[in-house]
Amino acid sequence: MNSVFDVQKTIREILLKILDNHSLEQLNKIPTGFSNNIIWNVAHCVAAQQTLVYKLSGLPTMVSEDFILKYRKGTKPEGDVSQVEVDEIKALLTATLEKTQNDFESGLFVDYNEYTTSMGFTLKNIHGALDFNNYHEGIHTGIIMCIRKFV
pLDDT tens for residues 108-142? 999 999 999 999 999 999 999 999 999 999 999 99
Question: Element (H or E) spanning 145, and its range?
Answer: helix 126-148
SS3 call for 4: helix
Sort 74 into a burial class: Cβ within 10 Å, 0-12 / 13-18 / 19+: exposed
Query: In terms of residue numbers, what domain contains 57?
Result: 2-148
| pLDDT of the residue at 114 | 97
On the question of pLDDT at 2 being above 90, the answer is no
CATH of the domain at 106: 1.20.120.450
Segment 83-113, tens digit of pLDDT? 999 999 999 999 999 999 999 999 999 999 9
Distances (CA, A) of 79 to 16, 27, 28, 30, 82: 21, 12, 8, 10, 10
Q: How many independent structural domains does the chain possess? A: 1
